[in-house]
Structure 1
Amino acid sequence: MTLQRQISFWLVALAAFIAFLYIFSPILLPFVAGMALAYLLDPVADRLEKLGFGRLAATVTILVLFVIVFVLALILILPILGGQLTGFIANLPGLIGKLQHILTELIGDRLPSVTGVSVKDLQANLGNILGQGASWLGGLLRSLWSGGQAILSIVSLFIVTPVVAFYLLLDWDRMIANIDAWLPRDHRETICKLAGEMNLAVAGFVRGQVSVCLILGTFYAVGLALVGLNFGLLIGLGAGVISFIPYVGATVGLVVSLGVAVVQFWPDWHWILAVLVVFGIGQFLEGNVLQPRLVGRSVGLHPVWLMFALFAFGYLFGFVGLLIAVPAAAMVGVLARFSLARYLASRLYTGTEPRIDGANDA
């Protein structure tokens, strides 16, 4: 009965937490963002404390520097990105039409002999596919831009989020100690072990992946801008940001930049090849340098599970869901591995009946 009560308690607590997220998700963004910011910056505060800073001085120093860098980045980069995004959306129908024309010229003469499909059918099919893709991409970009403007509102960005991050970062160690004091003594060791594994998975992935995204976004943006690709800064930074989802960022960035490069540079294939080289180098750096050094191989988050968590939480809770998807996926993964280990060590798996010699020889 004790085990049943414990299971019932945790199931009720989980249901209440999900209901809380669902009901209050429209107003949770600055608080979740502040919590995420405090979690990301806590190791920096601990390191400053080891250098002789008090917790208050370390917290104030970190947040002031962060706000200054963030505001400068917004002032310097946001107008450029806004202009490129507006231009990209405005030129998207023309880009699609030119890309369709080039593809038809390249493969139109060979297609009937190979597949039996006429050039007119090819143009119609390409027009439908590219038109639908352009419509979807344009709508997505507009929604992201309008959502970004809502997210970056004055209240949530410059007031609530920094204040929440300040108090959480200031009291982080005290909160951890209080939570530890509330744990049931009989299960404290197990809970602390699981919490440590969750923290290792979340910290290893989130902190490392944020660094990877920033480095890749900067590399792609600079590389595409040096190549001279139209909207290169927007495409490069966008590819870096969505590199948080494994394989998706590089794939989307490569497809979009190749389409723009073909329209812009054709028939000068050297510059199209240069775009491929930029993404090839980026993928080599990500797979062989950045991921092993910054993220590690043992964070316990499978790419498929991560993508499912991001889509599921984003669908259920919007942008707030995207912020909590990775920590939630890491926690569920740790609990699933713990449950599996308990199951494999239990009699339910091993059985209680003695093995009969020769039973498998029949």
Structure 2
Amino acid sequence: MTLGKWLSLFALVASVYILWQIRRIVFLFLAAVVIATALNRLVRRFRRSHVKREYAVLLSMTIVFSLLGTVIVLLLIRLVDQFDQLLSLIPISIDQIETWSYELQARMPENMLTNLPNLPNLAQQLQTAANWIIINIYFIFSNSLTLILNIVFILVLTIMLLANPQKYRRALIAMFPSFYRQRADEIFCKCEVKLVHYVAGVLLSMFFVGITSTIGLFLLQIPLPVVNGLLAGLAAFIPYIGAIASAIPPILLAILDEPWKAGATLLLYLAIQQVEGNIIRPSIIKHQVDLFPAITLALLITFGAFFGFLGLLLGLPILIVAQIWVEEAIVHDVLDHWRTP
């Protein structure tokens, strides 16, 4: 290899290392980009009424954060108390499952036990899953200073991006070769449309899942329906993983109350997820990006393992943008026009 190639390889490795070291800042910036992309549609609506851009940005941010602030204030006092109850009841529920499993094994013939799964091991797996949920909830809300700083950082970046998005867009497009800049701008437009529809669809899906879960748990008389409904709504932001994680706490609480309610709770969550996944979200997101479920789940888990909670939150938007670029830039612009000599 020539000296130039060695220097290029070194620069590539150094760039990857630096990006890895600042990965949290990179993901916070990506979160600001997604939020700014969605809010920019609202800003454009105000601009059509001949409102100056700075006032349009201020109005958009005020409307969104006023709605969020109102919801948080209305629910905060009750949720704090219910979260404490939830965290204290989950270990009791798991202990009850383990006790029932030992009693069941003591009453069953030995020849039947060999063909059944290890029930105490099931309790340990539930304990592991519950610990993962509790640790992540605690991690998000316990370090208040870090959470506040991250929110402020995202808020400032969002405002800066909204103030003059075309400036940042032109700077990004300028990084492409001159012959491809117009095409790159078209692909960015497609990414913007997909992200806006994705954010709108996810927010409405979260609202649907949260409300229906709360009502269903209330009708089943499961303890702490409001906090469990809120968890289900928030978890709907993360496909597949969120649905599984949000179902565990109410099922454990149902077992502690009456065992038959656990099955009813599971059926309730399955029905809500089916309606949300097959009816609500497809009707909202009319311009969908078809992602393979198995690959999407595997990549989301990978994002979560490498980048933590932010990786889970931003994994799907990143996959959507990546798929659009692969389909447009590689498949459509290169492979579809490839001709053998």
- How many Å apart are 1:334 and its aligned residue? 2.5
Q: TM-score, normalised by structure 2?
A: 0.80
Aligned with residue 256 of structure 2, among 223, 240, 263: 263
**d(CA) in 2 for partners of 1:54, 1:205:** 27
Among the aligned pairs, what percent are the same residue? 21
Tell me which residue corresponds to 2:155. 162
Listed as ranges, the gaps of 5+ residues in structure 2 are none
Relative distance call for 1:58 and 1:234 in structure 2 (3 A) is same
Deviations 1:32-91 (A, max 9, x none): 443332122111111121233221111111212222232333333244333333322322
Relative distance call for 1:131 and 1:324 in structure 2 (3 A) is closer
Relative distance call for 1:74 and 1:114 in structure 2 (3 A) is same
Aligned with residue 306 of structure 2, among 316, 319, 331: 316
Relative distance call for 1:104 and 1:297 in structure 2 (3 A) is farther
Tell me which residue corresponds to 1:145. 138
Could you tell me whether the CA contact under 8 Å between 1:213 and 1:244 is conserved in 2? yes
Tell me which residue corresponds to 1:232. 225
Relative distance call for 1:140 and 1:246 in structure 2 (3 A) is closer
Q: Does 1:346 align with 2:320?
A: no
Listed as ranges, the gaps of 5+ residues in structure 1 are 353-362
Would you say how many aligned residue pairs link Structure 1 and Structure 2? 333
Could you tell me whether the CA contact under 8 Å between 2:82 and 2:227 is conserved in 1? yes
Q: TM-score, normalised by structure 1?
A: 0.76
For 2:317, give the aligned amino acid.
Answer: P
Relative distance call for 1:292 and 1:32 in structure 2 (3 A) is closer
Aligned with residue 327 of structure 1, among 314, 317, 329: 317
For 1:214, give the aligned amino acid.
Answer: F
The correspondence of residues 115-154 of structure 1 with structure 2, limited to 5 A, is 115-116=113-114, 125-150=118-143, 153-154=147-148
RMSD over aligned CA atoms reads 3.5
Tell me which residue corresponds to 1:57. 55
Relative distance call for 1:209 and 1:139 in structure 2 (3 A) is closer
Could you tell me whether the CA contact under 8 Å between 1:202 and 1:326 is conserved in 2? no
**d(CA) in 1 for partners of 2:247, 2:134:** 17
The correspondence of residues 1-362 of structure 1 with structure 2, limited to 5 A, is 18-27=16-25, 31-102=29-100, 109=107, 112=110, 114-116=112-114, 125-150=118-143, 153-157=147-151, 159-177=152-170, 179-180=172-173, 183-266=176-259, 269=260, 271=261, 274-276=264-266, 278-296=268-286, 298-338=288-328, 339-341=330-332, 342-347=334-339, 351=340
Relative distance call for 1:168 and 1:235 in structure 2 (3 A) is same
Larger radius of gyration: 1
Deviations 1:113-134 (A, max 9, x none): 645569xxx8xx4223313431
Could you tell me whether the CA contact under 8 Å between 1:313 and 1:321 is conserved in 2? yes
Relative distance call for 1:325 and 1:21 in structure 2 (3 A) is farther
Relative distance call for 1:31 and 1:276 in structure 2 (3 A) is closer
**d(CA) in 1 for partners of 2:307, 2:278:** 34
For 1:332, give the aligned amino acid.
Answer: A
- How many Å apart are 1:286 and its aligned residue? 0.8
**d(CA) in 2 for partners of 1:283, 1:219:** 10
